[in-house]
Amino acid sequence: MASTTNRRRFLALGVGAAIAGCLGSEPPVADDDAARADDAPESAESAAPADSTDAAAGDYSGPFELPVPEGELRRGAPRDAIPAITAPVFADDWTGFDEVDATLDDGDEVVGVELDGVARAYPLAVLNWHEIVNDEFDGRPAVVTYCPLCGSAVVADGVAGGEPTYFGVSGLLWMSDLVMYDDRTNSLWSQVLATAIRGELTGETLSLLPSTISTWGEWRAAHPETEVLVPPPVSGTIRGQQTRRYDVNPYTSYQQSSDIGIGFNDAADDRLHPKASVVGVAADGVARAYPLDAVESAGVVNDTVGDLSVVVAASAEGSLVAYVRRFDGETVEFDRDGSVLVAAGSRWDLLTGRALDGPHEGAVLTRANDRSPMFWFAWADFNPETEIYGS
């Protein structure tokens, strides 16, 4: 049975025919519910910027001067041409929905979130086309974001300036990354940093929520009661019942190439292939990237970043995870036993970090990085002094 997130309707903003993804695609279908463009509130680009500050958001090494100069922002698409989802609907799977032509297979990638006892999966097949899902967990607003250009998923509380807030796709890029706007102040937000970079709320950072990128089959096996986002027209967007070709990945060629962003820039740091999947950890002024291939070769990595003791591993499907390996006041060493981690007399589920048995049964490891893995070039751009594990 499908469930719908019951929230107030987000102001629909009309825009002209435009690309539906940063690399271009078919124009969006006209929507009778879309408001006229001249009804849109003033954009953050024209708002007076806040005082300049140096910010290192969350676990990123930075710093970045804020507000970001307007000249550093690049227009990839008109505002809301990539329509954020504002009325998400969830179900056990996609079967039974005549409106949905695409299928959801076990090997399809999803952004997985578990919050307040509720597990949800957001397929990249949907996020590639919409990039933002405004959701809530038992009344708690949350925003689920994915930038196809950076391969980065960031999930955060949907609260900005102390108030519940909807987010939309500005159509701008900063450092090749998705720039969001909030519907209260029209401030512009860096997706990777989860920080306002221009506008009234400049310098404010959203509270991050743990997430992971895994396959649908892997996520469902670890979370048998999970719900999954059903694509539009079942779910609603900022522009009404907008649909896309969810059986097509418009970024396939881009993801397989060494091109960066929509201008196909060269990578500033070529120590790894630009699209290599890495999970990054930053602590105490030290940043380190853990490439998927190096982690897979090691089986399990026990490491220390700054003063933070971490364990990094990858599942059989290539899902990278990083946890703090200190609990009960002790730093422990993890081993690997097939698909589980082993430490302190307990076996730990690799994907969830939950102890399956032993003296710590039911305990959950703390994430070393609340952001999901991303492309190497994106991690390196936001952490220019980063080290690389295994090199």
Q: Where are the domains of the chain?
A: 3-237, 277-388
| pLDDT class of 280 with cuts at 50, 70, 90 | very high
CA 208, CA 152: separation in Å to the nearest integer? 14
What pTM does this model have?
Answer: 0.86
165: Cβ contacts below 8 Å, ≥ 6 apart: 141, 158, 159, 182, 183, 184
Q: Amino acid identity of 25?
A: S
Q: What pLDDT does residue 59 have?
A: 57
Task: Dump pLDDT digits (tens) for 283-331.
Answer: 999 999 999 999 999 999 999 999 999 999 999 999 999 999 998 889 9
Q: Is the pLDDT of residue 41 over 90?
A: no
Q: Which residues contact 238 (CB under 8 A, 6 or more apart)?
A: 10, 11, 12, 13, 80, 83, 84, 85, 86, 168
Token pair in block for residue 179:
């720039």
CB 146 within 8 A of CB 128: yes
8 Å CB contact between 186 and 42: yes
Which residues touch 329 (CB under 8 Å, ≥6 apart)? none
DSSP string, 356-368: -SGGGTT-BPPBS
pLDDT at residue 39 greater than cutoff 50: no
CB-count burial class (<10 Å; 0-12, 13-18, 19+) for 45? middle
Q: Let me know: does 177 contact 150? Beta carbons within 8 Å.
A: yes
277-388: CATH topology: Rieske Iron-sulfur Protein (2.102.10)
Task: Please say whether the beta carbons of 80 and 238 come within 8 A.
Answer: yes
The predicted pLDDT at position 356 comes to: 97
Average pLDDT estimate for 142-162: 98
DSSP 371: S
List, for residues 219-262, the tens digit of each pLDDT value.
Answer: 999 999 999 999 999 999 999 888 999 999 999 999 999 999 88
More confident residue, 11 or 343: 343
Rounded to an integer, the average pLDDT of 83-104 is: 96
In sequence order, what are the residues at sequence separation of 6 or more whose Cβ sits closer than 8 angstroms to the Cβ of residue 96? Answer: none
> What's the rounded Cα separation, in Å, for the pair 310 and 109?
25
Q: Are 209 and 78 in contact (CB under 8 A)?
A: no
Please give the structure tokens belonging to residue 101. Answer: 């032509």
d(CA 255, CA 276): 10
| pLDDT score at 6 | 39
**Of 45, 68, 295, 31, the residue nearest 181 (C-alpha):** 45
Q: Do 180 and 198 touch, CB atoms closer than 8 A? A: no
List pLDDT tens digits, range 171-196.
999 999 999 999 999 999 999 999 99
**Whether pLDDT at 12 is above 70:** no
Nearest to 137 by CA among 155, 111, 161: 155
Token code pair at residue 218: 């892997």
Supply angle C-alpha 63, 193, 179, rounded to 5.
120
